[in-house]
Amino acid sequence: MGLREFVFKRLIDGAILFFMTVTLNFFLFRVMPGDPTAFLIENPKFTAETRKALLKLFGLDKPLWEQYLIYIKNSFTFNFGISFQYLAPVRDLIFSVRLLNTLALMIPATLLATILGVIVGTVAAWRRGSKFDSTSTFVSLVFYSTPVYWIGLLVMLVFAYYLGILPFRGSITPGIKYENVFQFAADYLWHLTGPLLTLTLVNFGGYLLIMRSNLLDVFSQDYIVAARAKGLSERTILFSYGMRNAILPIVTLTGLNMAFSISGAVLTETVFSWYGMGRLIYEAVNQRDYPLLEGIFFLLALMVIIANIITDIIYAYLDPRIKY
């Protein structure tokens, strides 16, 4: 089997996962609440026409299996109805600047955490048993155990309240008129610093521990002993023989960790009032805005599935042993 077939197979897997997600969503939002009409449509703010249109859109007067088929069709177009709170189509609320804001927070945080984790984990494993090793292991355990929103609160307490060098909340200064793009960028980055720092810190510990344990595993392998016997320099052994093997699983892990990162991002965005999907899910929950909740959850699940497929393919491409 070639790489192309492997990609094809993963895409099929992705399609299956997509349908599982749709089914789960259907179960959660149509079957579980008992009376989805009350759940989704009977908002006093909606006009009678809107209600009628929604009833038709969801097919709530039809038998369950037909509703399911309609649900699948609607899922393809992210047609989840109208937000209770914003009185706007859920799709428009999701595919907006909020999504970009979330990506602007999550992608750099994940990359930074991975790079930092890999570097520190490598040094820790290389100097196994040293002060550096035990300290960094302990610090990662601490960060792993600390709630992300609390770290966020501490960051704000220190940098915003006491030092006054970072803003309290939000993704831009409200009501400000920017003179040029750079001013906007500066303001945006200034607001991004706190959440980015927080999210990076909580993600980084996990990568560190895993990189360290991967490397220790690799170091006990015969090919490292053989590399030593060959007299290769410590540098060559570490980079060309050690890390090259230990870093591969990290690729897959980044995909798997997306789910974890998203959980962290939701809490970080909430505490920093970052104008993104995480903050939106918080608002949706507190307003019991079920259509919005449904749409966000579907999008987040899709993001994770896609990230996993991509990292799987990258892994297969990088690892010569994969026979697909």
Partner 1 sequence: MNKESVRIKKIKLFGDRVLEFARIYYRNKYGLAGLIILTFFIFLALFAPFIAPYTPSDTFLAEPFSPPSSKFLLGTDELGRDIFSLLIYGTWTSMTVGVLASLLTVIIGTFVGIYAGYYGGIVQSILMRLTDFFLILPALPLMIVLAAILGPSIWNIIFVISIVSWPVTARVIMSQTLSVKESSYVEASKALGAGDTYIIFRHILPNVTPLIFAYVILNIAGAILAEAGLSFLGLGDPSHISWGMMLYYADQFGALVAGIWWYILPPGLAISLLVLSFMMIGYALDEIINPRIRRR
Partner 2 sequence: MSILEVNNLRVYYDTMRGEVKAVDGVSFKLEKGEIFSIVGESGCGKTTTSNTIMRILPPEAVIKSGSITFDGINLLEIPEKEMKKIRWKRIAMVFQNAMNALNPVKNVGSQIVDAITTHLNIPEAEAWRKVKELFELVGLDPSRLKDYPHEFSGGMRQRVFIAMALSCDPEILIADEPTTGLDVIVQRNILNLLRDLRKKLGLSIILITHDLAAVAQVSDKIAIMYAGKIVEYGNIYDIFTRPRHPYTYLLIKSFPKIGSKKERLVTIKGSPPSLINPPKGCRFHPRCPYAIEKCRIEEPPLVNINNKGLVACHLYDQLNLVI
Give the interface with partner 1 as residue ranges (CB under 8 A): 16-17, 20-21, 24, 28-29, 32-33, 141-142, 144-147, 149-150, 153-154, 156-157, 160-162, 168, 216-217, 220, 256, 258-260, 262-263, 266-267, 270-271, 281-282, 285-286, 288, 290, 293-294, 296-297, 300-301, 304-305, 308
Q: Give the residue with the Cβ less far from partner 2, 179 or 222.
A: 222
Q: Give the residue with the Cβ less far from partner 2, 25 or 245.
A: 245
Residues in contact with partner 2, counted by CB under 8 A, come to a total of: 21
Query: Is residue 235 at the binding interface for partner 2, with CB under 8 A as the rule?
Result: no
Query: Is residue 175 at the binding interface for partner 2, with CB under 8 A as the rule?
Result: no
Q: Give the residue with the Cβ less far from partner 1, 154 or 318.
A: 154
- HSE-CB at 313 with a 13 A cutoff on CA atoms is 18
CA 72 to CA 311: how far, in whole Å?
A: 26
DSSP string for residues in 258-288: HHHHHHHHHHHHHHHT-SSHHHHHHHHHHTT
| Residue 293 in tokens | 């909740």
Least distance (Å) between residue 88 CB and partner 1: 20
Distances (CA, A) of 111 to 61, 182, 201, 296, 309: 47, 24, 12, 23, 18
CA gyration radius, the chain: 24
Burial of 177 (0-12, 13-18, 19+ CB in 10 A): exposed
Q: Across-strand partners of 34?
A: none
For residues 151 and 157, the answer to whether their CB atoms sit within 8 Å is no
Query: Is residue 26 at the binding interface for partner 2, with CB under 8 A as the rule?
Result: no
Least distance (Å) between residue 247 CB and partner 2: 10
Q: Give the residue with the Cβ less far from partner 2, 55 or 216.
A: 216
Which residues lie near partner 2 (CB under 8 A)?
221-223, 225-233, 236, 240-241, 244-245, 248, 319-321
